[in-house]
Amino acid sequence: MASYSFIVVYWLWTVASGMLMPVSKENNLTPTIDKLVQLPRHRFLVNASAEVCIVTTNVSTLSESHPNLMATLISQHPVKFASEKPVKYKIKPRYANVVLLDATGWDKFPVQLFSKRFSDNPCHFIDARFIVLAMRSCVLRDRPAIVKFFDDQGIVNYVIVPMLTSVSDSVDNITLYTENRFSKEEIYVPLSDLDSLHRLFPNKLTNLHGYHIRVGVLRNDFPYVHIFMNPEVCLGILNIMFRDIGLQVLNLTYTLFQQKDDRYDADVYYDIFFEREHFQHELAFRDMGGMCISCPENYNRYFLPHLLKPFSVGSWILLGGIFVVCSLLKLFFPTIFRTHSIQQALFGVVGNEYNQAFAARAILFALSWLSFFFSRTYCAKILALMSLGIFYKRPATIEDFMQSFYMLAVHKELLVRFNLDDFKSKMIPQDEFEQLRREFGVALHLHHCSLQRCGEALLLTSPFHQSYYHTLFAIKEMVVPIPHRLQFATNSPIVTVMNRYLGLFYERGLWTHYFKGHLRILDAVPQPQNAYAQVVFNFHDLMSVWMLVTGGLTLGIILFLVELLSKKRS
């Protein structure tokens, strides 16, 4: 009887152990997963309200082996399930910062399946925290493939959880695993050690251990990118930014190169944009760039209007009134004004001025003073016209440009890319543009205005670049504003940390410091080796003198011929 009772008790204990063992396993896995979800994202921000995206497959055994896990996550966190088919959203989808990747039921990790799911219909941020549930046999066999999959996807925060395959397995033998793709450090934490789970998600982006990226640029864009004669050398603020942030802070190496073919395989591109449905990964600079107008300097100083009309309308009215008054005085008072006062004051007509009446001498003195004032003012204006550039008609704004005589030569590519309808009246027709381009080539821009990137236009028109001769000028007002931006590769692991440090680069004033330093180069005027090598006046500067001499001689010859003809007739 005693032996029979022992057998019954042993059988009941065996049944109870078999029933309780899955519960014990469940109770150990669910708290671990929930603890991983709630781990702080960094030292000062608790991730208590994490949004969880569950990615599962048709062969999943998670609901059978751990039915309470889903219910626990749904009750404590916002949860959504990723769709297997591509979904077209009318608005931007909401991504999750924690992903539960269910690979249970697979003997081999389904790399292609998950790659297609992440490409067609991702539900996560690139810096999301991934919790991978996979069979223990799959983890032991395909762990390198799983690590490579996350490296290819640009995901650095992940933990691999080997799932129990039978009730006889002990949770004490389960070890969670992650790896730092930059330092190749392997991290193991026992499943039951809840206090050490934070070691699975360290900040892996503080030290990139020489991780190398390639930065592609398309063309010169001062002061951001400046390519010298050697296309392998790219300087500018972009190079300084990657040097200060990459080399000195993140231990990141980089190479800047000029994109010249259709093979776009760089890690980062500057001002080269690719439209993507997911993972745009754009970082916009806070200062705006765009297209500006650069024009050749016009050396035509328009001497003739200044020579023929040197005074204002009021001055001409004053001179005309004085002439009329002097003529009337000569007409009504011939005894007092024996000579014409205007002729005597302006042309020095011979006469006995000291024998004239006091009134005549007073008026003659006033007229002589007035003649001196106007003649010296006229000469001063002509000298200023010869020596100063103030009379150049250089438009400073777009409104001034629209009212000027300058014409705009625009390439077909720019007409297609930008909306320039407001400038149609100032554009050269395309057939004439093609004819001028065949005739002048690149020198076409020395005859007509053109559209260029604002930085390049300011650099080409600066005294430093033109070597003592200012042949071009730029209108600083933008015609078409274009934001400057960086676009990282789809699966770039460093986009989030670069976004953070680029913001700090601006907020600490480093960007403004370097930007103003580069702009000061535009104001630097190089000193010629021989200060006396330049002449004060050139031939075109003395054009007014030649016009006065030629006009005076021509007028004198005409008057001389008229006088000869009049004497012959008499």
**Does 103 have pLDDT greater than 70?**
yes
**Does 453 have pLDDT greater than 60?**
yes
Residue 228 lies in a domain: no
**Residues 158 and 35 reside in one and the same domain:** yes
**Residues 188 and 324 reside in one and the same domain:** no
pLDDT band at 147 (very low <50, low <70, confident <90, very high): very high
Q: Is the peptide bond before 223 cis (omega within 30 degrees of 0)?
A: yes
Q: Which of 151-165, 309-323, 460-474 has the highest mean pLDDT?
A: 151-165
How many domains would you assign to the chain? Answer: 2
**Residues 170 and 317 reside in one and the same domain:** no
Residue 543 lies in a domain: no
Of 199, 222, 247, the residue at which a domain comes to its end is 199
The more confidently predicted of residues 175 and 383 is: 175
Q: Is 205 exposed, middle or buried (0-12, 13-18, 19+ CB in 10 A)?
A: buried
Q: What is the pLDDT of residue 483?
A: 87
Of 144, 173, 199, the residue at which a domain comes to its end is 199
**Does 536 have pLDDT greater than 60?**
no
Rounded percentage of the chain residues whose pLDDT exceeds 70: 75
Report the pLDDT averaged over residues 360-387: 72
**Residues 160 and 36 reside in one and the same domain:** yes
**pTM of this prediction?**
0.67
Q: What is the pLDDT of residue 179?
A: 93
* 289 touches 484 (CB < 8 A): yes
Of 321, 354, 387, the residue at which a domain comes to its end is 387
Q: What is the pLDDT of residue 264?
A: 86
* 268 touches 215 (CB < 8 A): yes
* 201 touches 159 (CB < 8 A): yes
pLDDT tens-place string over residues 424-452: 888 988 888 888 888 888 788 888 888 88
pLDDT band at 570 (very low <50, low <70, confident <90, very high): low
Q: What domain range is 335 assigned to? A: 304-387
The more confidently predicted of residues 470 and 20 is: 470
* 183 touches 156 (CB < 8 A): no
The more confidently predicted of residues 23 and 256 is: 256
In angstroms, the Cα distances linking 337 to 321, 344, 349 are 18, 11, 13
| Beta strands at 79-81 and 52-55: parallel, antiparallel or unpaired | parallel
Question: Secondary structure of 258-301 in the HEC alphabet?
Answer: ECCCCCCCCCEEECCCCCCCCCCCEEEEEEEEEEEEEEECCCCC
Radius of gyration of the chain (CA): 43
Q: Which two tokens stand for residue 417?
A: 């890319």
Burial string for 157-184 (b: 16+ CB within 10 Å, else e) reads bbbbbbbbeeeeeeeeebebbbbebbee
Distance CA(167)–CA(14), nearest Å, equals 13
Q: What is the pLDDT of residue 155?
A: 92
The more confidently predicted of residues 150 and 51 is: 150
Q: Which two tokens stand for residue 314?
A: 């009021």
User: For helices 111-120 and 136-152, what crossing angle results, to 10°?
Assistant: 40
Question: Secondary structure of 336-396 in the HEC alphabet?
Answer: CCCCCHHHHHHHCCCCCHHHCCHHHHHHHHHHHHHHHHHHHHHHHHHHHHHHCCCCCCCCC
How do the residues of the chain divide into helix, strand and coil, expressed in percent and rounded to 5? 50, 20, 35
Residue 335 lies in a domain: yes
Distance CA(362)–CA(424), nearest Å, equals 62
Q: How many Cα atoms within 13 Å fall on the side-chain side of residue 438?
A: 5
Q: Which letter does DSSP use for residue 228 in this model?
A: -
Residue 446 lies in a domain: no
